[in-house]
């Protein structure tokens, strides 16, 4: 990913707009989480920053949590196939080998995406940088049996993992 890095010390000195511009991307299309966390500066460590950001995410009203979950792209979905994913999502899906699937594998991902959307009305979210194709497919199968409440909780946990990795790529401790 080609975003510039910033030191935590510098990040702690930024005004709200610059702080949000620097790390607002760590939560998919939801820079409001960074903006809402800004007032808690200074952060003693990258871990403390991540914990504060996640606390903001978990404190969102349920409808905003669903909006955050829905901001994530489908794995091997239309945006990925059209090459229109954001830079982080493109690199993350590629890290799991999802950009090198055979046609029948693409069809399987699309089938699972559709089943998941039909069951939960939001996309399947998993930290692909911590998984490979087989683990992602197994995750789809296992999680399709969950309740909506379980899946919202699981999706938010996966978003926290994604945010940690994106933050670690952006901020030098």
| Positions marked catalytic | 72
Contact 50, 167 (CB under 8 A): yes
Instruction: State the sign of the Cα–Cα–Cα–Cα dihedral 159, 160, 165, 170.
Output: positive
CB burial readout 95-129, b (16+ within 10 A) else e: ebebeebeeeeeebbbebbeebeebbebbbbbbbb
Q: How far is CA 72 from CA 19, 25, 39, 40, 46, in A?
A: 22, 12, 26, 26, 23
């Amino acid at each position: 990913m080609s975003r510039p890095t910033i030191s935590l010390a510098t990040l702690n000195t930024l005004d709200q707009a610059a702080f949000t511009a620097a790390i607002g991307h760590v939560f998919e299309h939801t820079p409001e989480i960074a903006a809402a966390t800004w007032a808690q500066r200074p952060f003693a460590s990258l871990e403390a920053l991540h914990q504060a950001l996640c606390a903001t995410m978990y404190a969102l009203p349920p409808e905003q949590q669903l909006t955050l979950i829905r901001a994530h792209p489908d794995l091997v979905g239309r945006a990925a196939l059209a090459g229109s994913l954001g830079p982080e999502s493109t690199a993350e899906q590629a890290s799991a080998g999802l950009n090198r699937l055979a046609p029948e594998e693409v069809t399987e991902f699309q089938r699972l995406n559709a089943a998941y959307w039909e069951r939960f009305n939001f996309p399947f979210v998993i930290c692909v940088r911590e998984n490979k194709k087989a683990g992602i497919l197994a995750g789809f199968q296992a999680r399709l049996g969950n309740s909506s409440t379980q899946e919202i909780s699981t999706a938010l946990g996966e978003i926290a993992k994604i945010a940690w990795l994106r933050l670690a790529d952006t901020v030098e401790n």
